[in-house]
Amino acid sequence: MAEGLAGRVLVATPQMGDPRFARTVVYLVAHTQQYAMGLVINKPLEEITLAGFLAHFQVEITAPEPSGYVMAGGPVERERGFVLHSDDYQEAEQTIAVANGIAMTASRDVLAALGAAHRRPRHALLALGYAGWDPGQLDDEIRDNAWLIGDGAPDLVFAADKAAIWTDAMARMGRGNGDWAVLGEGGHA
């Protein structure tokens, strides 16, 4: 599998063998020969709101209260936070530009920006933890049809209805009505 899937989404197929990723959509932040890293974008932690999370960490909210849930970003380092956001917010050394106007920042300053009207990114998603793969592991899973590779369009990534993201991603790839015929080469729809 070629490198360069950063900015794309992985959409779990019914063949996904890991129950932690059933009906999951992962936005890939990095994909190289050494590793792959992504954030689950459709599994909210129902008990944690964004406003509640910011208040817990004593982040001053100077704008209308931010809405939305915190995502279960993946099984690795679940106590660590990552903010996937539109690229209108940039923190010089802390922000990683990914693709399609989407960036990721993992610092306390981005939390302050989420609470401030004048600095808040246009779109943002806070995830606790991440999904990570060792060399070749993700490529093997794609070849085994555990994942489909889709477009990481901002309207999908930042969709308000988190419960609909998996279905929407499948529909965008022409898999909305249970069409699970052989996918062809490595999970590409």
Alpha-carbon distance of 100 to 103, in angstroms, equals: 9
Q: What is the pLDDT of residue 37?
A: 96
Single pTM value for the model? 0.88
Residue 92 burial class via C-beta count within 10 angstroms: exposed 0-12, middle 13-18, buried 19 and up: exposed
Q: What share of the chain has pLDDT > 70, as a percent?
A: 89
Q: What is the pLDDT of residue 3?
A: 57
Q: What is the pLDDT of residue 176?
A: 64
Which structural domains are found in the chain, ordered by start? Answer: 8-187 (3.40.1740.10)
